[in-house]
Amino acid sequence: MRHGYQRWDGEQVPTRPTTVVEIMSRPTFALGVADARAGRPYHRDYDLWRDCNLRWSYERGRQWAAVAPRDVPLKRNGKINPEAVSWFTCDII
C-alpha cells in the first residue's frame, strides 16, 4: 500500500512552517539531547525511524546539546526554557 507523496531523486520534499519551540518540544529532540549529554551513541532505533522528521529532531537535539552549556535545561516546569531557545537560535543571553 502506498502512502501519500512519492519523492524522486533530487526532488525537494514537501515542507511546512514551524517554530523553534515546536521543534524543541518534540520527544525525539529531547531524546537526542539526553543521549548526547550522557555520551551515548546514536539511539539503537535511529535507522528504524521511517519518518525523516524524527531523525531531524533527534539530530537537532544532539547538535543543540553540543552547543548549549550542560547546566542549561531543555525544559523548566514542563515548558521549553527560554534560555534553551536562545542557545538554539544563537541569540545567547
Q: How many CA atoms lie within 13 A of 37 on its CB side?
A: 17
Per residue in 11-63, pLDDT (tens digit) is 777 788 999 999 999 999 999 999 999 999 999 999 999 888 899 999 999 99
**pLDDT bucket at 4, cuts 50 / 70 / 90:** low
Grouping H, G, I as helix, E, B as strand and the rest as coil, residue 83 is: helix
Give the start-to-end residue ranges of the domains of the chain.
20-89
Say if pTM beats, i.e. exceeds, 0.85.
no
**pLDDT bucket at 5, cuts 50 / 70 / 90:** low
